[in-house]
Chains A and B, each alone.
Chain A
Amino acid sequence: MKGPKPSTDLVQGTLDMLILKTLSLGPMHGFGIARRVEQVSRGVFKVNPGSLLTALQRLERAGWLDAEWRDTENSRRAKFYALTRAGRKQLDAETADWNRRAAAIARLLKADA
Chain B
Amino acid sequence: MSLWRQLTHGIRVLTRSRAADRDLADEIAHYLHEAEVDHLARGLSRDAAIRAARMEIGNATVVREHVRESAWEHVVATTAADVRLALRRLRRSPGFAAVTVLTLGVGLGASTAIFGVVKPVLLEPLPYPGAGRIVSVADRSSDGRGIDVTFGTFLELVDRGRTLDAAAVVRSWLPTIVGAAQPERLEGERVSAGYFKVLGVSPLVGRAFDTDEDRVNGPNVVVLGDGLWRRRFGADSAVVGRDIVLDDQPYRVVGVMPPGFEDVRAPRTEVWAPLQYDASLPSFDGREWGHHLSMIARVRRGATVDSARRDLETIAERPLPEYPRPVWASMPRGPFVIALQDEITRSVKPALLAMFGAVVLVLAIACVNVTNLLLARGVQRRDELAMRIALGAPRTRIVRQLLTETVLLAVLSGACGLAVAAAGIQTLVALSPSNVPRLASVRVDASILVFALAASAVVGLVVGIAAGLEVWRRPELHASGARHTGSHQRARRTLVVAEVALAFVLLVCTGLLLRSLQRLLSMPAGFDSSGVLTMQVQTTGRRYPDLAATDRFFAQALDRVRRVPGVVAAGFVSQLPLAGRDMYGVAAESAVPAVADEASGAYRYGVLPGYFEALRIPLLRGRLFDAHDTAAVPAVAVISESLARAKFAGADALGRRVRVGGADGPWRTIVGVVGDVRQESLTLADADAVYVPESQWSFPDRAMWLVVRTHGDPARVAPAVEAAVWAIDTDLPIVRVATMDRLVRESTAERRFALMVFEAFAGVALLLAAIGIYAVLAGGVTERTREIGVRAALGASRDEIVGVVIRQGLSMAAIGIVFGAAAALLATRGLATLLFGISRVDPVTYVVMSALLMFVAALACWMPAARAARVDPAIALRAE
Contact = CB atoms under 8 A, between A and B. Distances in A.
Contacts of A35: 38
Interface in A28-82: 29-32, 34-35, 49-51, 53-54, 57-58, 60-63, 69, 72, 76-79
Nearest to A51: B66
A108 to B, nearest CB: 34
Contacts of B1: 63, 86
Contacts of A32: 34
A57 B71 contact: yes
Contact of B58 (A30, A50, A76): A50
A57 B34 contact: no
Given A57-B70, A60-B5, A61-B6, A50 B30 contact: no
A49 B58 contact: yes
Contacts of A79: 23, 26-27, 30
Given A29-B34, A61-B2, A77 B56 contact: no
Interface string B19-33: 000011011111101
A50 B27 contact: no
Nearest to B62: A50
Contacts of B38: 31, 35
Given A61-B2, A61-B6, A86-B1, A53 B34 contact: no
Nearest to A55: B70
Interface residues of A, number: 24
B35 interface: yes
B28 A76 contact: no
Contact of A54 (B28, B57, B70): B70
A108 B66 CA distance: 37
A7 to B, nearest CB: 12
Contacts of B30: 29-31, 72, 76-79
Given A49-B58, A57-B71, A79-B27, A31 B9 contact: no
Interface in B522-561: none
A106 B70 CA distance: 34
A31 B35 contact: yes
A29 B9 CA distance: 19
A53 B1 CA distance: 21
Contact of A50 (B2, B9, B33, B63): B63
A78 B26 CA distance: 7
B62 A62 contact: no
Interface in B54-96: 56-58, 62-63, 66-67, 70-71
A30 B31 contact: yes
Contacts of A77: 26, 30
A54 B65 CA distance: 10
Contact of A49 (B2, B6, B56): B56
A50 B66 contact: yes
Contacts of A54: 66-67, 70
A61 B73 CA distance: 12
B66 A62 contact: no
Given A50-B58, A54-B66, A54-B67, A76 B27 contact: no
A49, A51, A54, A58, most chain B CB atoms within 10 A: A49
A53 B9 contact: no
A49 B71 contact: no
Contacts of B66: 50-51, 53-54
A112 to B, nearest CB: 38
Nearest to B60: A49
Contacts of A69: 23
A2 B33 CA distance: 30
A63 B63 contact: no
Interface in B115-130: none
B5 A31 contact: no
A93 B57 CA distance: 31
A96 to B, nearest CB: 20
A49 B31 contact: yes
Contacts of B28: 49, 53
Given A31-B38, A61-B2, A76 B33 contact: yes
B9, B58, B67, most chain A CB atoms within 10 A: B67
A30 B9 contact: no
B29, B62, B66, most chain A CB atoms within 10 A: B66
Contact of B9 (A51, A60, A76, A86): A60
Given A35-B38, A49-B57, A62 B33 contact: no
A62 B66 CA distance: 18
A61 B9 contact: yes
Contacts of A62: 2, 5
Contacts of B29: 76
B2 A57 contact: no
A57 B9 CA distance: 10
Nearest to B8: A61
A35, A54, A58, A86, most chain B CB atoms within 10 A: A54
A76 B2 CA distance: 30
A69 B23 CA distance: 9
A53 B27 contact: yes
Contacts of A31: 30-31, 34-35, 38
Contacts of A57: 67, 70-71
18 contacts: A29-B30, A30-B31, A31-B30, A31-B31, A31-B35, A35-B38, A49-B57, A50-B58, A51-B66, A53-B24, A53-B31, A53-B67, A54-B67, A60-B5, A62-B2, A79-B23, A79-B26, A86-B1
Interface of B: 1-2, 5-6, 9, 23-24, 26-31, 33-35, 38, 56-58, 62-63, 66-67, 70-71
The 4 closest A-B pairs by CB, nearest first: A31-B34, A50-B66, A63-B2, A50-B63
Given A49-B57, A63-B2, 20 more contacts: A29-B30, A30-B30, A30-B31, A31-B34, A31-B35, A35-B38, A49-B31, A50-B62, A50-B67, A53-B24, A54-B66, A58-B70, A60-B5, A62-B2, A72-B30, A77-B30, A78-B30, A79-B26, A79-B27, A86-B1
